[in-house]
Amino acid sequence: MDVESYIFTPLGIEIAHDAYRIASKIPNFFMAMLLIWGGLHLKYSTSKFKHVVAISVILVLSYVWLFLLAANVFHDNFLIESTFPSFLYGTALIYFGMVLREKEISSRGIDSLFPVGLMLLGALNLTYPFTRYLHWFTPVGFLLGALFRIMAAVGAVKFVFIPFPPARIPAVVRKNIPPGAFLCPSREKVSEKFGAIEEIPSLLMVTRESLDSIVEAVHPNALVFWVTRVMEGQIHQSPEIYAISPTKIDILTDLIAKAVESGYRVVYIDAVEYLIVENGFENVLKFLLNVKDHVLVAGGTLILVVDPGTLDRTQRRILEREFPGE
């Protein structure tokens, strides 16, 4: 809302009108580029050639717009001068919020305030060229902008710093379980090699097993990510069970990494086939290798349960090479 002018004027600081017309639009373009670029990386995990071309076109249009402002082509018409910068910034906020909600953040709980706040702020910015000089709307606009920013900030803090409580783990946590990464063809083979892993308090599970069997079998201090499209968010407290969409594999990676850092040392994953169906083998392999690195660095144990009959020969060989086997 061009808040700079409201800060500088009471302080007796004056900015030349022609300079301010240009300077006030630069942050819109700058922030829009960062938001679009960040959204593309969250969605595609990289910047593809077409994305680079699109961003380059937007940068060129931004430069042209600033040049036209400097030449006063719009004859000090605020509505026209602000239309493109506000549209680009507002749209970028909405796009970034949508990508966060789709790829990274649950649509339920406090975390969801992060993308929702960004999207509402983006919508507010879209109205800016039309409401800037509506004096009755100015205090309303400032209030709404502050509320939306607070919403986004609260959600971001919850998402980044408090994904779940630290592990409540006794001193002895992994009896007879060696560190490393292991591939097993069935749940029975896991029991034969490692014993009753359900009794381990530092257990982290990524599973498709039924909720009733999970609650009944695993240690109360265990952490479970139940992979499903039906619901999202925390669905049980002891053990802690969080429902997560299979397509949100990036956020699952981050959550597992944070859990390992907080003390969980035995990671058990039996939902590999389902994740492959939803994300493709290449993306799931990247996920598994990332998790493997986090677990091994922490001196923990990663156990994968994958039916070899569900994989082709190349996929099976890759997994067998990365995970020593039973």
**Comparing C-alpha atoms, which of 104, 62, 90 is closest to residue 253?**
104
Position 101 scores a pLDDT of 82
Which pLDDT band, with edges at 50, 70 and 90, does 289 fall under?
very high
**For residues 310 and 271, is the Cβ–Cβ distance under 8 A?**
no
Q: Among all chains, which residue has been given the structure tokens 């257990």?
A: 203
pLDDT at 161 over 90: no
Give the number of other CB atoms < 10 A from CB of residue 224. Answer: 22
Position 165 scores a pLDDT of 54
What confidence tens digit (pLDDT) does each residue in 136-152 have? 888 888 889 889 999 99
Cα separation, 288 vs 323, whole angstroms? 10
- Helix, strand or coil for residue 24? coil
What confidence tens digit (pLDDT) does each residue in 230-284 have? 888 888 888 889 999 898 888 899 889 888 988 898 999 998 999 999 999 999 9
Tokens coding 104 = 């990274």
8-state DSSP, 37: H
DSSP string, 81-136: HHHHHHHHHHHHHHHHHHHIIIIIS-SSSGGGHHHHHHHHHHHHHHTHHHHTT-TT
Give per-residue burial for 291-303: e unless 16+ CB within 10 Å, then b: bbebbeebebbbb
Position 1 scores a pLDDT of 43
**For residues 36 and 176, is the Cβ–Cβ distance under 8 A?**
no
Of 2 and 141, more confident: 141
Cα end-to-end distance, the chain, whole Å: 61
Which pLDDT band, with edges at 50, 70 and 90, does 171 fall under?
very low
- Helix, strand or coil for residue 177? coil
Mean pLDDT along residues 187-210 = 89
Write down the pTM of the prediction: 0.60
Cα separation, 2 vs 239, whole angstroms? 49
